[in-house]
Amino acid sequence: MDIAAEKKRLRALALGRRAGMGAGVREAASRVAAGHALAALGPVAGRTVAAFAPFRDEIDTAPLTTALRRAGARLALPVIVGRGHPLIFRLWDAAASLTPAGAYGIPEPGPEAPEVIPDVVLVPLAAFDRRGYRIGYGAGFYDRTLHLLRQNNTILTLGFAFACQEVEAVPVESHDEAVDMMITESAALACARPRGGRSGQTESH
């Protein structure tokens, strides 16, 4: 199997489904998914949760981040250091303005915001399967980041997306990092990811 080609095909399939969601459906699904995430996380007071700013038609994280703040969580957002490098996370103060940055123009906290190590990471994605493997957008930022964080920290990783982005099986390469749970508007699904998050070998499904 040409894994790169298959990932490209599955990415296009899942993103096509996502793009076909109406605005009202997307808004309602984002609220329901936020409820599933809150229930799965349990008490969050004092924990640092790394969220993400939605890009294009990604699931809206605002209902979840608003609820997390009210519950006492500290929020952080990813910052792109450079292509080929892991992300860092900076504290996201509700009163602070965010600046669109990088080639993608995704809002980020400024350099004055403290860098933090999160307890929980919400992971964006293009497609996913029930084992917790995901297909991103091709730059590998989250695979590198999760691998680095897991070397010295105990973190909980939650894929956060719409149910229509699920595919039967993501082709897995040795560098791919799985998530601990997948959260959609349909359910909070616990995933049996390999120890350390990586597959350990290339699989061709």
Domains of the chain: 3-190 (3.40.50.10420)
Q: Is the pTM of this model over 0.75?
A: yes
In this structure, how many other beta carbons lie within 10 angstroms of the beta carbon of residue 58? 20
- Report pLDDT digits (tens) over 130-171: 999 999 998 999 999 999 999 999 999 999 999 999 999 999
Measured between alpha carbons, how far is 124 from 134 in angstroms, rounded to an integer? 9
Ligand-binding site membership of 46 (annotated):
no
Bridge partners (DSSP) of residue 101 are 106
pLDDT for 201 beyond 70: no
Measured between alpha carbons, how far is 123 from 121 in angstroms, rounded to an integer? 6
- Report pLDDT digits (tens) over 91-112: 999 888 898 877 678 999 999 9
Ligand-binding site membership of 134 (annotated):
yes
Ligand-binding site membership of 141 (annotated):
yes
Ligand-binding site membership of 196 (annotated):
no
Ligand-binding site membership of 13 (annotated):
no
Quote the mean pLDDT of the chain. 93
pLDDT for 197 beyond 60: no
Ligand-binding site membership of 148 (annotated):
no
- Report pLDDT digits (tens) over 27-48: 999 999 999 999 999 999 999 9
The DSSP bridge pattern shows strands 181-183 and 156-160 to be parallel
Is the Cβ–Cβ distance between 14 and 21 less than 8 Å? no
In this structure, how many other beta carbons lie within 10 angstroms of the beta carbon of residue 153? 10
Ligand-binding site membership of 140 (annotated):
yes
- pLDDT class for 203, splitting at 50, 70, 90? very low
Ligand-binding site membership of 72 (annotated):
no
DSSP notation for 115-174: EE--SEEEE--SEE-TTS-EE-SSS-HHHHHHHHHHHH---EEEEE--GGGB-S-----T
Q: Name the strand (E) or helix (H) holding 188.
A: strand 188-190
Tokens for 74, please give them: 């500290």
Is the Cβ–Cβ distance between 121 and 156 less than 8 Å? yes
Alpha helices in the chain (DSSP H): 3-19, 23-41, 62-70, 141-152
Ligand-binding site membership of 58 (annotated):
yes
Ligand-binding site membership of 136 (annotated):
yes
Ligand-binding site membership of 137 (annotated):
yes
Ligand-binding site membership of 193 (annotated):
no
Percent of the chain with pLDDT over 90: 83
- pLDDT class for 205, splitting at 50, 70, 90? very low
Ligand-binding site membership of 130 (annotated):
no
Ligand-binding site membership of 27 (annotated):
no
Ligand-binding site membership of 51 (annotated):
no
